[in-house]
Every structure is written in structure tokens, then in C-alpha cells.
Amino acid sequence: MFLGIDIGTGSSKAVLVTSDGSIIDTAIVHHTISLPRAGWAEMLAEETWWAEVQQLCGELFARNDAKGVFGVAVSGMGPCLVVTDGDFAPLRPAILYGVDTRATQDIGDLNEELGKTAIVASGGKDLSSQSVGPKLRWIARNEPAVFSAARYWFSCSSFLVQRLTGEYVLDHPTASQCDPLYDIHRLEWITERARAVAGHLPLPRLLWPAEVAGTVTRGAQELTGIPVGIPMCAGTVDAWVEAYSAGVRRAGDTMLMYGSTMFFVQRLEALRSHPKLWVAPGVEPGSITLSGGMATSGSLLTWLQRLFGGADMGELFSEAAATPAGAEGLLLLPYFAGERTPLLDPDARGMITGLTLRHGRGHLLRAGLEGISYGLRQMLDLVEQAGEPITRLLAVGGGLKAGLWAQIVSDISGRPQIVPKVTIGASYGDALMAAVGTGCVGPDTDWMQTARIVEPDPRTGAVYEDLYQQYLSLYPANREHMHFLARWQEKDTTW
């Protein structure tokens, strides 16, 4: 068996898989992120991530013999930032990926100090809320005692690799998002920049995601049940593992992840970049990808569910399905946590326009689904301009359980989507990485099998075309208002 574990924004999942891709057992635990201030998104690395790994393993090994495990891999949301002391104890809550927008000033400072052109030349993209470097600078500037006490820094998956093996490593895809510290051309750290940004903190050893980072220690075995000495791969950010598990192997293959955030990863033929997209190494050694992500998607639907008093999500989707395409003239901008691709604007804010007394829950949820899908179309149009023509669009993630969402995406984007039989998430790809990394299966092994294809409905697509043009005009027309309100929200500490 091969054990895959993924720490996501809304839940952590684990799976046991055989070498032919058959699922033996799964486990899941749900959690929430902390939003202590406007623009902040945090989580406790020890009390949530590591504790949930122990909980998931305990559940799986209560039903299955752990002696059958031959390899382990872990992925996680990212890139995140965890700073620890010399004993690897976290010194503050983990700062999450692009949904945490606190380091806006530090982005500007680093652009001025190092040169924006030079940063893009080496990293292939602009600094953004997705970048780890500005968040390191934020800690140094705002929490100097914490930074001074720090001895190591991690992302989500690398923190768990340390807990299980004792190794201090980071995978290439995650490192490539630690701008401005990584050179995308040479696939190595830029040591002179590390001194300017990370200060005294050492740089972790770089590995490819499926490379073995170390073996499970006796202490980790006592807490998780994973046998001591079992090899563990370096792991990576969940979206890249999702792409790997979905069969993204050839140039033009594009994975679309339906999760708390909407994310895509496209395999490239050769290195090319765009300042509004993220170029990064892929899971396989030497591979290169182009990616982008929205700041909210599934998390926005959860917000709407809370707004409706915790109503059953199945009922809400039924009401949305009964609502005509276009939600009877309702438009929603999904920038409830700023926006990543393609705006790169942490101060963008959500917007609902066209409301009348006639609109109800079904209209709002449908408008939410459509707003996310309009944003996705923007991303996909951009990647076709900057990257490769999309040859296959492979859809994965928990959001596919609601067929309505995938259909709206195809109708608005005009693109068919291939849905694999296994859509449980990155944990399945982690198991595949563990099987490949331990040499138990060949490096070209692909477990993806097609379950169905979601075809666009041209009649509905015609309805959406006019509304899409309106959607595109709303952000530039309201950007100044959004930025004013973002500044206002930063001053208000009561919430």
C-alpha cells in the first residue's frame, strides 16, 4: 500500500492505494482557517496540520494493517510560511498562500530594492500575495522578535516531511513560488537574495516532489503508526499533485481544480512565462508548468451557505439549478478575499449587482457559481494566450460532486471537461508519487481513467456571453471604490 495525505484549505484527507491505483481506504477531517484581520489567513501548523496527520493515520490503521505501507507522500495548500525555532516548534501561526494579502507593502519594498524587472527575469512572474518572500519580510518588519528567534522556515508539506522524517527540505514547485528567492531557469536558490530577504534563515535542500526525502523516524511511528524506516517523498503544493493524479503529462494538458479556491495547472512544452501567471517546475523532474488561481471559489459558496443559516447545500444547489442561466440578471464578482489571477489585486472586493426583491437564495447561489465561472474563463483565456493551446481540460476536486457547477463552467468557457473516475483530490496523487518515488511502479505510471466528459451547451453559452462582457467591465469601473473600502476595513479592528 501507498499512503497519501493532503492538507487542504477546508479539510485534510488521507488514502491508502495499491500499486495499480485501487483505493483501499480513505479518511477525512474538516477544519477552518483563521481570519484574525482583514487580509489575513492563518492556520496552526502543529495543532491542525500535524495533529490531523496523526488523526487520519490513526483512523486508517485502525482498519488496515500499517505493515503493508511501502511509501508515503504528503501535499498541502501552498505556498504557506511557517517559521520555527531550533527545535522545529512553530513560533507563530502559519501564514497561508495567496488568500493572505498582508504583505502588500513588502511587495512594493522588494520591487524597489531588487528591481521588478530583475525579479520577473529570474522568477518568471511578478511578486504577489502568492509569493513567500514578502511574507518573510513582513515577519521581519512587524514581528522582529519572532524573526530573530526563527531558525527554520517551511511550507505546509515540508513542515510535515520534517515531522515524519526529521529532514529539512523543500520541493522545486513550492520553492519556485518563494519569489524572489528561486531562479526558475537554473532551478536553484538565489543565495544573495536569500540573505536580503530570509536573513539568517538557512535555505532548505531542494528535491523533486517524488524524490525520497528521508524515512519515517521512530518518534513519528509512535505518533502515527506508519512503520519506522518507510521512505517518504518530498511532496509539494496540492494543486500540482492534483494535476499529476489527473494525468497532466503532455504539453497542453490542463488541470482545473474545484476546491476552496479554483486553480489550474498546465503542462508546457518549454519554459515560457507571463507576469500575471505562475511558472513553476512540475512534479516530474525537468517538467515545467504554468498556473493560476482565484482567491475564492468553494469558500465563497460556503460563505453563502452560512449567510442562509447553514442551509443544506444540496437544497441550495437544487434551487440554483431551477434558476435560469444568468440568475435573472444578477452578477457577482467573487473577490471576497481579493483576487489572484488575473488581477493580482489583494484589495479587490466582492460585489453583487442587479439585486431586486424578486431574487432569492437560488439566484444568489447561481450568481456565485456563475461569477466564479466567469473568473475562470478569464484565467483560461489568459493561459491560452501565454501558454499552450488547451488540448485537454481535466477537472478534479470536491466541487465536481455538484454537477451543476461543472456544467456552468463548460457553458461559460465553451470548453469540454474530462472528469476522472477518482476525484478525491491530491491525496490520491500523493499515493502515486509515493509509488513512483519508491520505485515500486515506473515513472510514467498514470492511474487516471475517464469517468465522463462535461460538454458545453451552446444555447446556454449564448446567454452567458452578454453577461460575461458586463462582468469584465465591473472590476475596472469599481476598482477605486473597492480599494477605498479595503483601506477602511483595515482600520476597523472590531471584526
Tens digit of each residue's pLDDT (9 = 90 or more) over 434-470: 999 999 999 999 999 999 999 999 999 889 999 999 9
Within 8 A by CB and 6+ apart from 340, the residues are 98, 128, 129, 130, 261, 292, 293, 294, 295
**Measured in whole angstroms, how far is the alpha carbon of residue 282 from the centre of its chain?**
14
Strand partners, 345: 339
What pLDDT score was predicted for residue 495? 47
3 state DSSP class of 73 = strand
**Measured in whole angstroms, how far is the alpha carbon of residue 188 from the centre of its chain?**
22
3 state DSSP class of 212 = strand
How many CB atoms are closer than 10 A to CB 91?
18
Residue type, 287: S
DSSP assignment of 81-98 equals BEEE-TTS-BSSPEE-ST
Helix/strand number for the chain, H first, E second: 16, 24
With 0-12 / 13-18 / 19 or more C-beta atoms within 10 angstroms meaning exposed / middle / buried, residue 348 is buried
The whole-angstrom separation of Cα 124 and Cα 212 is: 28
The whole-angstrom separation of Cα 310 and Cα 330 is: 22
What pLDDT score was predicted for residue 494? 52
How many CB atoms are closer than 10 A to CB 181?
23
Do the bridges between strand 23-30 and strand 11-17 make them parallel or antiparallel, or are there none, so unpaired?
A: antiparallel
Within 8 A by CB and 6+ apart from 147, the residues are 83, 139, 140, 199
Grid look-up 526558475 returns 184
The whole-angstrom separation of Cα 99 and Cα 166 is: 29
**Measured in whole angstroms, how far is the alpha carbon of residue 89 from the centre of its chain?**
24
DSSP assignment of 391-438 equals SEEEEESGGGGSHHHHHHHHHHHT--EEEES--S-HHHHHHHHHHHHT
Which residues, given as ranges, of the chain have pLDDT below 50?
A: 495
pTM, two decimals, is 0.87
The whole-angstrom separation of Cα 335 and Cα 129 is: 14
454-483: b or e for each residue (b if 16 or more CB lie within 10 Å)? bebbeebbeebeebbeebeebbeebeeebe
309 Ramachandran zone, left/alpha/beta (phi>0; psi -120 to 50): left
- Distances 338 to 50, 136, 309, 331, 385 between C-alpha atoms, Å: 29, 20, 24, 17, 24
Are the CB atoms for 242 and 425 separated by under 8 Å?
Answer: yes
**Measured in whole angstroms, how far is the alpha carbon of residue 145 from the centre of its chain?**
30
Measure the CA dihedral 270/271/277/281, to 10°.
90
DSSP letter (8 states) at residue 201: P
With 0-12 / 13-18 / 19 or more C-beta atoms within 10 angstroms meaning exposed / middle / buried, residue 218 is exposed
Within 8 A by CB and 6+ apart from 467, the residues are 326, 331, 370, 374
With 0-12 / 13-18 / 19 or more C-beta atoms within 10 angstroms meaning exposed / middle / buried, residue 491 is exposed
Which of 433, 2, 381, 73 lies closest to 243 in space, CA to CA? Answer: 433
